[in-house]
Structure 1
Amino acid sequence: MIRIGLTGGIGSGKSTVAAMLRDAGYPVVDADQVARDNMEPGSSVLQEVAEVFGTDILDDNGVLDRAELARRAFSSEEQTQKLNGITHPAIRRESERRLAQFEKEGARAAVYDMPLLIELGLDESMDVTVVVDADAEERVRRLVRSRGLEEQDARNRIARQIDDATRKARADVVIDNNGPLTELEPQVNELVEYIEKML
């Protein structure tokens, strides 16, 4: 099975490309969804996070107070590393399990939609690394318009990620998503052709 690593900075339109690839017939493992699933009440990952950051981050039903966890986990680099040390390996294990399941079910190719693909070196285990690229100013506009972020918050989030040049240097395929959907679709179609030739 061909593994397609899909990544891009926040606001680049990575999720749109993932949806288009799903429509083209490739199953998708969404790392953000895996992260959310891992934090469901009663999960071993959530229990470990609560042991480290305080059981009061859970309500009486065991549901995570995400805002409070964020406040504690992002208060310092050391605290952030503690959270990442628990969540990143768990996301990797579950993502790997889901990819293996797709392979068992006979998928010829599958997409791993992972924001930190390159930062964590996971691109090395992919057959194809696809980077969705959009200029920082365009991404800020999208984050403010579509996600309702404050402009400064959007800029801070972009600044915390690796730079676009580093991301693109590790890509096998770069998709330029600065324009409208009509310009994105032909590029995704080309990507599908590229993948099909590998199969």
Structure 2
Amino acid sequence: MEISGTFLGLSIIHFSIGLLFYFSWISEHPEMGIASGKSTTANIFKEKQIPVIDADVFARLIVKPGQKAWNEIHKAFGNDVFLEDGQLNREALGKIIFADNNKRKILNKITHPKIQKMMFWAVIKYFFEGHKFVILDIPLLFETGTLLPFLHKIITVSCDQKTQLKRLMERDDYTETEANQRISSQMSLSLKCERSDFVVDNSATFGETRKQVEKIVSYFQASNHHVQVRIYLATCLIIFFCICGLLFFLVYKLLTR
């Protein structure tokens, strides 16, 4: 979901979608611009008992001391981006990567594959639990483009630029320059909105945002796309096991001649 000013980064994966990671499924994905109201929108989905897979949660897990990403970041950026207890100093790292595009690419190359791998397994888990669809909260969906082929729908949550800037400065205690650096590091909200299937405008009141999200939830709950995907998956599995059985039979016949 997204409008102008902020990009959310949520993704709804129809569990005809979740499997898209292996079988080109279709999924719904909400996108949010930075400081666009991501948490507010995600919480509404959670209230509706819809699973939300947050990329930021995994981003924090993979950089814990001793993890592979932690070691790679230490090698690429040195001791300056770590605290005395070994924890990643996010503020120090943020100042580096938002001032240097090449440094940001290095960090993304280290972290994104690991985050995506964890999100994939989370999707599979919810799929086998029987959920109809899930939300993927991905801040840089369009910028990376990696998961786009696996998503059924994209929802962008946004707000006007002044509100976005104000929220970011108040939330993270950034100067106006620091806030603008982070906003400019992402694709423009207007372009994200053009590429999205749904847009949630989070510039106004919470009640108005809730109405927009509930309308989208109703749309997906009424959809039977997940049934189509499960049938597709079941068909693929049946074909796979039939081929395996045939090969086993042929090998058995050759060996018992």
Q: Which moved more, 1:36-45 or 1:117-126?
A: 117-126
1:166 matched residue in structure 2: 191
**Change over 3 Å in CA distance of 1:125–1:164 after alignment to 2:** same
Looking at structure 2, the residues matched to 35 and 134 of structure 1 have their Cα atoms a distance apart, in angstroms, of: 25
Looking at structure 1, the residues matched to 155 and 207 of structure 2 have their Cα atoms a distance apart, in angstroms, of: 19
| Superposition deviation, residue 61 in structure 1 | 4.5
Give me the TM-score of the superposition, normalised by structure 2: 0.71
Aligned residue identity for 1:131: T
Secondary structure (helix, strand or coil) at the match of 1:174 reads: strand
Equivalent residues of 2:53, 2:122 under 8 A apart: yes
| Aligned length in residues | 199
**Change over 3 Å in CA distance of 1:99–1:152 after alignment to 2:** same
Identical pairs, percent: 31
**Change over 3 Å in CA distance of 1:110–1:177 after alignment to 2:** same
| Superposition deviation, residue 145 in structure 1 | 3.2
1:67 matched residue in structure 2: 91
Looking at structure 2, the residues matched to 128 and 170 of structure 1 have their Cα atoms a distance apart, in angstroms, of: 10
Equivalent residues of 1:136, 1:158 under 8 A apart: no
**Change over 3 Å in CA distance of 1:34–1:49 after alignment to 2:** same
The partner residue of 1:139 within 156, 160, 164 is 164
**Change over 3 Å in CA distance of 1:145–1:48 after alignment to 2:** closer
2:140 matched residue in structure 1: 116
1:25-174 mapped onto 2 (5 Å cutoff): 25-54=49-78, 57-58=81-82, 61-74=85-98, 76-121=100-145, 122-174=147-199
| Superposition deviation, residue 153 in structure 1 | 2.2
Secondary structure (helix, strand or coil) at the match of 1:119 reads: helix
| Superposition deviation, residue 57 in structure 1 | 4.3
| Superposition deviation, residue 88 in structure 1 | 1.2
Give me the TM-score of the superposition, normalised by structure 1: 0.90
Looking at structure 2, the residues matched to 153 and 60 of structure 1 have their Cα atoms a distance apart, in angstroms, of: 25
**Change over 3 Å in CA distance of 1:24–1:152 after alignment to 2:** same
Long gaps (5+) in structure 2:
1-14, 18-26, 225-257
Larger Rg, first or second structure (1 or 2): 2
Looking at structure 1, the residues matched to 209 and 170 of structure 2 have their Cα atoms a distance apart, in angstroms, of: 19
The partner residue of 1:14 within 14, 28, 38 is 38
Equivalent residues of 1:10, 1:139 under 8 A apart: yes
Looking at structure 2, the residues matched to 179 and 73 of structure 1 have their Cα atoms a distance apart, in angstroms, of: 32
Equivalent residues of 2:99, 2:181 under 8 A apart: no
Looking at structure 2, the residues matched to 109 and 77 of structure 1 have their Cα atoms a distance apart, in angstroms, of: 35
